[in-house]
Structure 1
Amino acid sequence: MKRLSSSKRVVVKNVVKGEIEWELRPGGMLVQKRNMGDASSAPVINIKVSHGSYHHDIPLPAQSTFGDLKRILAQETGLEPKEQRLLFQGKEKDDGECLHMVGVKDMSKVVLLEDPASKERKLQEMNRNQTLLKACEEVAKIRSEVDKLSEKVIALEAIVVAGTTVAENEFHVLTELLMVQLLQLDSIEANGEAKVQRRVEVRRVQGLVDRLDKLKARNSNPFGSSSNAVAVAVSSKWEAFESVVGAQSPLPASTIITQEWEVFD
């Protein structure tokens, strides 16, 4: 009886000193806690992981968890651990479950599925990217057309500035072509970067239309600016004439007038 009592006290003493540590497994099972020494000394098993049409052979210690397996698979598949679902014998396993505790042995088969919610998010992101790419391509096509129209506006401006009168139809045609591009830009459904690019092109087209309106006005009245210059010159000459007369010049008035108009001419 004393020996039994002594043995019992030894066990209790070991537990108190922490030489035996326990942990609670999923399902309520109390088992001895694993440590790194246990894992490194455990036998290594090869697990056959099936992921759609792909197959992966994963070697790892038998006492590893399914969470450990997910971390290795993340490197192999690109799927984050939280995006993975692991099934063994038709049942999904939690990250904390140990492989050897549920019957996983060497050459056992595990099925990897992508989490449906994660898959849906990726699909939505892919659709958004495709929509963005399409919108950017549509804006780029219009930008190319606006480049051509811009060159025509610059050429037309050079002619008008040179003093050559241009047919009114030239302005109407270019304006209408620019408005067509403006309507096409408005029809593009764009977000993010595509929306920014569309806004830039809209402002560019509007600027070209305003430019054409000013050129059209100048083309209709090519001498508008020179007429103003003539008016200023005439006013200056009359001021000079009045100053001469006011000074009571000995020259006859007719001679003064003739000289002033000669200078003006």
Structure 2
Amino acid sequence: MMSCFLVMVLMLVSVAFFIVTERKGLGMLQLRQGPNKASFKGALQAIADGVKLFKKEFSFPFSVSKNMYLLGPFLCFFCAYSLWLLFPSYWHSLSFEGGLLFFLCVSCFSVYGVFLVGWVCDSRYAFLGAMRAVAQSVSYEVFLSTSLFCPLLLVGSFDLVSIREFSFSNMLVGLEVLLLWLIAVLAETNRAPFDFVEGESELVAGYNVEYGGVGFALIALAEYSNIMFMSLLVGLLFFSEGMQLKIFGDIIIMFWMVFFSYFMVWVRGVVPRFRYDLLMNLCWVVLLPFSLCIFSFMMGFSL
């Protein structure tokens, strides 16, 4: 359990600095200055933001249940960081035989946290953002699961440790599955061009508009933790070659996690936001039939 606790603490610190890295990266892509006041070139901006948010007064909107108001951000945070129990480190102390099934259950359950955040604060704008999150989740979760099972047909296990020890790159036979999975990851983490949950022009920052201070910090940490974990899964599922090595395998895992996290920052900086109805049409009419066809082909290939 000590190794799992250490992974969670390290990821908590990494997520805080990844938020600053995204702000700096977007500044470079948009030819402007990012955060550069706290320490040298904004190196300690994450600490400054954390101190500011946790010292800020935590106010409650009128006519809300305080317990339910606090439960929403905590539920999002708990779901996001419980996924790091699956981290397949060389020093892991826990091994889930159904690790990816646990991931699917937690990722589906986390939608309740988002809906609770938007519903309990008694704001029409936040409630609209929460309803968009639920509808978006229903649309992409189906083909996300189908895309996830395609590489698992070759590996033959739901355990991330077994996937790490699989000495073959699934990307070589499943490039289409990789592209589908990247689209699903962007939608799962509410990233551009599928960031309709946080569309500022029409939703005033979305479902978390009524939260500030600690509540906003927990929601932000949960969102960016999901980004890093989904990036970790991309590397494990499609680039497992070389990860069966001991300490060097851990370095490869971290490299792919950082690489695809930066890839999401790049996508946000260069790709415009789609219309909401285009996402619904893309998921149900295009991606779901395409993923089912690939899944059927991969079943025959694995046999």
Per the normalisation by structure 2, the TM-score is 0.25
Structure with bigger gyration radius: 1
Per the normalisation by structure 1, the TM-score is 0.28
More strand by share: 1
More helix by share: 2
Relative contact order, CA 8 A, sep 6+: which one is greater? 2
